[in-house]
C-alpha cells in the first residue's frame, strides 16, 4: 500500500486530511467539524443528533421551562399599544368594546349581531383618562399582569399560559353577555382574575406558602366585591371561574402520557361551552336571527 492510499480525509470535507475519529460514529473529521465531548471529540452531526435525543426539562404541570416570560411581555405590549391607540382615536373603544347587543330601537350592534370579535378585543382596551377611574384602570391591570403573569407563565409554560389567559378573557366576556348584554365593558380584568385563580390553584397543588397564597386569594375576592362599584363584576367573576377551571385541569391531569390529552381536552371543551353559551344568548337577543 502506498502513502497516498493511507491518507484519511474528513467525512464532510473530502479534500481535508484528517486523523481524528468521532467517538460516536467513528468517522474521520477535520478541526472545523470537531466538537469537544465528555470523552474525546464528536462530529457536528453526532452532536446535533445527541441534542435532539435529550429530553427537555418540564415544569410540574407539563410545560417547557422558560427563563424569560415572553408571553407576559407580549400581552403587556399589546395592552399598552391598544391604550395608546385609544388616546389617539377614542372612537376605537365603542368600536371594539364588549357589547352583547344594543336595546331594541337602536341600530344593530354588538356580539349578537355578528361582531364576535368584541369577546376578545374588549379585553385589550381600558377606560380613557376622562372615564371612571381613568388611567388607574390600565395601570392596576398591567401591574397585576406583571406581578402574577410571570409567576404563572413560569409554572405552566408559554402555550398553556396563553390558553389560560385567552380563555379567562373569553369567560369574562361571555358572563358579561349573559348577565348584562346591553352594558359596555372594557379591560383585561377578566383575564387577570383568571390568572389570580390559577395562581391559587397551582400553589395549592404544589403546597407553596399557603398562608401567603390564602391572603392573596382573600384580597382577590375582596377586590372582586369592591371593584363592582366602578367596573364589570360580571367580567371579573367570569374570568375568575374560567381561570380556576382551566388551572384545575392543568394541575390535576394525570402525570403520564395522557396529561397533554386531558389538558387540551379540558381547554377545548371549555372553549366550546363558552361559544355555545354566547351563541344561545345571541339567538335569544335577536329572536333567532343570528
Q: State whether 97 and 142 are in the same domain.
A: yes
- Number of structural domains (the chain) is 2
Instruction: Check pLDDT > 80 for residue 202.
Output: yes
Which domain does 163 fall in, by range?
A: 70-281
Dihedral of CA 177/181/186/192: which sign?
Answer: negative
User: How far is Cα 185 from Cα 10, in angstroms, rounded to an integer?
Assistant: 67
Q: State whether 145 and 177 are in the same domain.
A: yes
Q: State whether 35 and 124 are in the same domain.
A: no
236 classed as catalytic: yes
Can you tell me which residue has the cell 392543568? 250
58 domain residue, yes or no: no
User: How far is Cα 107 from Cα 85, in angstroms, rounded to an integer?
Assistant: 25
Q: Are 290 and 280 in contact (CB under 8 A)?
A: no
20 domain residue, yes or no: yes
Q: State whether 31 and 133 are in the same domain.
A: no
Higher pLDDT, 49 or 190: 190
Q: State whether 98 and 171 are in the same domain.
A: yes
User: How far is Cα 157 from Cα 71, in angstroms, rounded to an integer?
Assistant: 9
User: How far is Cα 193 from Cα 140, in angstroms, rounded to an integer?
Assistant: 12
pLDDT score of 39? 72
H helices within the chain, ranges in order? 44-53, 70-88, 91-96, 118-121, 135-156, 158-179, 189-206, 210-226, 233-252, 259-286
Please state the φ and ψ torsions of residue 157, each to the nearest 5 degrees: 90, 165
Question: The C-alpha cell of 185 is what?
Answer: 365593558
Q: State whether 98 and 191 are in the same domain.
A: yes
Q: What is the CATH number of the domain that holds 252?
A: 1.20.1540.10
122 domain residue, yes or no: yes
Task: Say which DSSP state 30 is in.
Answer: -
pLDDT score of 201? 92
Catalytic hit among 122, 144, 168, 189 = 189
Q: State whether 229 and 106 are in the same domain.
A: yes
User: How far is Cα 258 from Cα 236, in angstroms, rounded to an integer?
Assistant: 32
Q: State whether 21 and 77 are in the same domain.
A: no
> What are the pLDDT digits (tens) for 97-154?
999 998 877 888 999 999 999 999 999 999 999 988 889 989 989 999 999 999 999 9
Question: The C-alpha cell of 51 is what?
Answer: 441534542
Q: State whether 8 and 84 are in the same domain.
A: no
Q: State whether 174 and 86 are in the same domain.
A: yes
189 classed as catalytic: yes
Q: Are 201 and 244 in contact (CB under 8 A)?
A: yes
**What pTM value is reported for the model?**
0.80
Q: State whether 135 and 8 are in the same domain.
A: no
205 domain residue, yes or no: yes
65 domain residue, yes or no: no
43 domain residue, yes or no: yes
Question: The C-alpha cell of 202 is what?
Answer: 397551582
287 domain residue, yes or no: no
Q: State whether 23 and 123 are in the same domain.
A: no
269 domain residue, yes or no: yes
User: How far is Cα 195 from Cα 168, in angstroms, rounded to an integer?
Assistant: 8
Nearest to 135 by CA among 183, 182, 190, 80: 80
> What are the pLDDT digits (tens) for 229-272?
667 789 999 999 999 999 999 999 998 889 999 999 999 999 99
> What are the pLDDT digits (tens) for 39-48?
778 888 888 8
User: How far is Cα 101 from Cα 240, in angstroms, rounded to an integer?
Assistant: 24
Amino acid at each position: 500500500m502506498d502513502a497516498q492510499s493511507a491518507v484519511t480525509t474528513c467525512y464532510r470535507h473530502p479534500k481535508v486530511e484528517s486523523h481524528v475519529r468521532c467517538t460516536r460514529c467513528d468517522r474521520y473529521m477535520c478541526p472545523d467539524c470537531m466538537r469537544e465531548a465528555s470523552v474525546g471529540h464528536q462530529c457536528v452531526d453526532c452532536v446535533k443528533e445527541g441534542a435532539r435525543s435529550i429530553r427537555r426539562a418540564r415544569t410540574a404541570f407539563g410545560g417547557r421551562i422558560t427563563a424569560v416570560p415572553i408571553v407576559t411581555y407580549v400581552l403587556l405590549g399589546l395592552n399598552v399599544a391598544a391604550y395608546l391607540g385609544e388616546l389617539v382615536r377614542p372612537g376605537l373603544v365603542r368600536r371594539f368594546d364588549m357589547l352583547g347587543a344594543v336595546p331594541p330601537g337602536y341600530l344593530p350592534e354588538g356580539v349578537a349581531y355578528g361582531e364576535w370579535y368584541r369577546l376578545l378585543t374588549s379585553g385589550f382596551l381600558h377606560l380613557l383618562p376622562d372615564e371612571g377611574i381613568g388611567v388607574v384602570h390600565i395601570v392596576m391591570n398591567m401591574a397585576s399582569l406583571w406581578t402574577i403573569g410571570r409567576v404563572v407563565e413560569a409554572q405552566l409554560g408559554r402555550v398553556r399560559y396563553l390558553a389560560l389567559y385567552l380563555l379567562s378573557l373569553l369567560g369574562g366576556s361571555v358572563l358579561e353577555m349573559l348577565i348584562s348584554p346591553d352594558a359596555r365593558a372594557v379591560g383585561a380584568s377578566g383575564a387577570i382574575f383568571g390568572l389570580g385563580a390559577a395562581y391559587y390553584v397551582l400553589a395549592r397543588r404544589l403546597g407553596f406558602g399557603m398562608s401567603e397564597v390564602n391572603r392573596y386569594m382573600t384580597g382577590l375576592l375582596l377586590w372582586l366585591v369592591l371593584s363592582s362599584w366602578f367596573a364589570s363584576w360580571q367580567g371579573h367573576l367570569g374570568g375568575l371561574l374560567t381561570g380556576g377551571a382551566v388551572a384545575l385541569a392543568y394541575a390535576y391531569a394525570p402525570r403520564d402520557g395522557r396529561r397533554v390529552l386531558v389538558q387540551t381536552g379540558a381547554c377545548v371543551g371549555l372553549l366550546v361551552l363558552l361559544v355555545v353559551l354566547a351563541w344561545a344568548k345571541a339567538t335569544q337577543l335577536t329572536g333567532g336571527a343570528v
